[in-house]
A and B are shown apart, each in its own frame.
Chain A
Amino acid sequence: MAYISELEASLRPPAMDMPPYPPKVITLASGEEMVVRQVERDEVPILLEVLYPLLWVERDFYDIVAARLFGELLAYKRYRVKDEYVLAGLIDGVLAGMVNGRLMDAKTGMSYHTLTVRRGLRVGSHLFAAKMEYHIEHCKQEEVLIVAESPIGFRRWMIEYPLEKRFEVQHELGGVPSWVLLKETYYNAKPRLVAGRRPAPEDLLRGAETIMLPDEETVVRQVVGEKEGRE
């Protein structure tokens, strides 16, 4: 372990024992395989590069989600948020989406964000479910606090799981009233909302060892839209 000064150590929050997320593989509608795995701190710079062009894309609230994720990922990398985790979905090693959150305490999780850069394949649904799986099945928590910045998120999560209102609790993201996913609801919803195979095959894991950048133009075009025609 690298040497850290006493001052630096005092600025870092004490860390809980968080189990590693066991990687899994998901077959998508296109037949492509997506590896879902945990992101290490030294991989954060690549994720920041993906987020950068999205900071100014207003469509579907990409700007605010990308901006907040940017800060949260930096905080994770530099040990300034307590017990944060980051998961990524990779298709042929190329980033398809990312999710993050943190453990408030042993019992309660705090979901942060979900951002997809490969659309049309339910990557967001798969990754959101993966982080709920992490909180409840792997970290053995009782519940996860959740809010949504976009109407798509609201419909997908609040109504689909479904989530309960926990409005007396303020979520860390902007202090808005929180919703909550209860352990029991998670297990009831699992057959229809949580997918993936373990253990992930060796060759797919190897292919997902290094996170590769998706093509920026493709990402932005998928989010923003087209200006094309022909005769």
Chain B
Amino acid sequence: MSDKVYGAKCTSCGTVNYPARAVCRNCRSETFEPIEVGGEGKLLTYTDVYALAIDYETRYLRLAIVELDNGIRVTGQLLDDDPKLGKRVRSTIGVVRKPGEVSIMGLQFVPA
């Protein structure tokens, strides 16, 4: 069970591709090295979603798109009782989905 989330950093131009892809979206090179994705950033947008898929038994899920200070944008779960657009947050790693017995780890955000 990994406790880090990774993007793919292009070895030619340094662009971080998150999600990872086969071809760099900036320079079209095909070689990458893994880079940890996370840290501090600002809340770009968020939602409380009640229309949940399978695997979730809560009443709602608070999801967000965060723009990290290094420019990378990520999607994750927001653990903040008082979200506001532009608010400073920082990432942690937690269980984000549990299909059956498997625990999937991913990015969660708390107030910075």
Contacts and interface: CB of A to CB of B under 8 A. Distances in A.
Interface of A: 159-160, 162
Contacts of A162: 59
A162 to B, nearest CB: 6
B57 interface: yes
A159 B50 CA distance: 10
Interface of B: 57-59
A3 B5 CA distance: 78
A158 to B, nearest CB: 9
In the A-B complex, list the 4 residue pairs whose CB atoms are closest, starting with the nearest.
A159-B59, A160-B59, A162-B59, A159-B57
A151 to B, nearest CB: 12
B96 to A, nearest CB: 19
A160 B52 CA distance: 12
Nearest to B56: A159
5 contacts: A159-B57, A159-B58, A159-B59, A160-B59, A162-B59
A159 B56 CA distance: 11
Contacts of B59: 159-160, 162
A162 B59 CA distance: 8
A159 B57 CA distance: 7
B109 to A, nearest CB: 24
A53 to B, nearest CB: 32
Nearest to B58: A159
B58 to A, nearest CB: 8
A226 B96 CA distance: 40
A160 B59 CA distance: 6
Contacts of A159: 57-59
A160 B51 CA distance: 12
Contacts of A160: 59
A162 B50 CA distance: 13
A160 B57 CA distance: 10
Nearest to A162: B59
A187 B2 CA distance: 42
B46 to A, nearest CB: 19
Contacts of B58: 159
B103 to A, nearest CB: 21
A207 to B, nearest CB: 35
